């Protein structure tokens, strides 16, 4: 039987409470500027669009998300239902996408979209690295595949996946194809393996899924200077980049903290898709694999 998420890990390196107490809008302004968000808002703020967040559960009581989050059923098992509690990671990602800015608080890149939270049992420990499970290939439908199909059937136009595992799964490939066939935009973090020994020795990083599936927009992380973050995975699954280093996010319950990782970058791109604007393509690192050159099947992955 499947061990709930098959090594699905939140693609985030760090969440920490900042030492300073500057207004949150001032602290996040560089992120909004990097994505030309305020210009995009002249056209739309995402009204009428639903973004599914496949992650740990989103806290619907965060003031900036209140009234616009629907928490779906637990996707971890098709047969067993567990009590779902709000997750730190999923809440942070939803805020990046859809926070309303209520009471001069945090504002997401698409502050009028609705969020469909599809909870998975995601490892939120940033130091955890799990290999694929050998017996996972026998599972008919993975939790991620189940969540993707549910999101499509509930009318989500965009699916945000700031999660990853080293193992591919047939049911997920099929679910990705199903979603793409319905015109749904799929966005995923490429992972934080840029500083691993394998990456240093080979000039490329392990492939992470779902970012590695064809048709999914794989997102790398950049810093304030738009330089590729050293931890960001670098392989042919990378299609675009967005801020990932020192990005403010909302906290479960209340308050704010800083994030570090490709998780935040993917969530920002997911929120940016309702605007349909251009996004930056990352430059390759010196001696790297040339992130952003496109895909050639699955040749670059290591499972």
User: Which active-site residues does the annotation give?
Assistant: 55, 89, 263
Strand bridging mode 163-164 / 9-10: antiparallel
Which among 187, 297, 177 has a CA at the least distance from the CA of 235?
297
Which among 196, 251, 222 has a CA at the least distance from the CA of 16?
251
SS3 content of the chain, % helix, strand, coil (to 5): 25, 20, 55
87 in Cβ contact with 27 (< 8 Å): no
Which among 215, 205, 201, 162 has a CA at the least distance from the CA of 12?
162
162 in Cβ contact with 93 (< 8 Å): yes
Euclidean distance between CA atoms 175 and 158, whole angstroms: 14
């Amino acid at each position: 039987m499947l061990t709930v998420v098959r090594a699905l890990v939140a693609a985030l390196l760090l969440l920490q409470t900042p030492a300073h107490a500057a207004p949150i809008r001032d602290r996040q302004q560089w992120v909004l500027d990097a994505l030309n968000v305020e210009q995009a808002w002249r056209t739309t703020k995402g009204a009428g669009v639903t973004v599914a967040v496949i992650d740990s559960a989103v806290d619907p009581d965060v003031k900036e998300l209140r009234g616009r989050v629907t928490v779906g059923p637990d996707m971890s098992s098709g047969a067993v239902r567990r009590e779902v509690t709000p997750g730190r990671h999923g809440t942070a990602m939803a805020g990046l996408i859809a926070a309303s800015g209520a009471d001069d608080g945090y504002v997401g890149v698409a502050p009028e979209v609705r969020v469909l939270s599809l909870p998975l049992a995601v490892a939120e420990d940033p130091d955890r690295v799990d290999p694929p499970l050998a017996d996972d290939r026998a599972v008919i439908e993975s939790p991620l595949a189940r969540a993707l199909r549910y999101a499509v059937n509930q009318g989500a136009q965009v699916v945000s996946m700031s999660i990853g595992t080293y193992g591919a799964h047939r049911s997920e490939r099929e679910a990705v194809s199903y979603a793409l066939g319905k015109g749904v935009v799929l966005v995923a973090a490429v992972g934080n393996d840029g500083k691993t020994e394998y990456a240093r020795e080979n000039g490329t990083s392990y492939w992470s899924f779902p970012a590695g599936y064809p048709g999914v927009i794989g997102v790398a992380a950049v810093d304030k200077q738009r330089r590729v973050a050293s931890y960001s995975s670098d392989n042919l699954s990378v299609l675009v980049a967005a801020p990932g280093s020192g990005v403010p996010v909302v906290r479960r319950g209340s308050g704010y903290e800083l994030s570090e990782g490709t998780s935040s970058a993917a969530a920002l791109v997911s929120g940016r898709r309702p605007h349909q604007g251009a996004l930056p393509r990352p430059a390759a690192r010196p001696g790297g694999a040339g992130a952003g050159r496109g895909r050639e099947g699955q040749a670059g992955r290591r499972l």
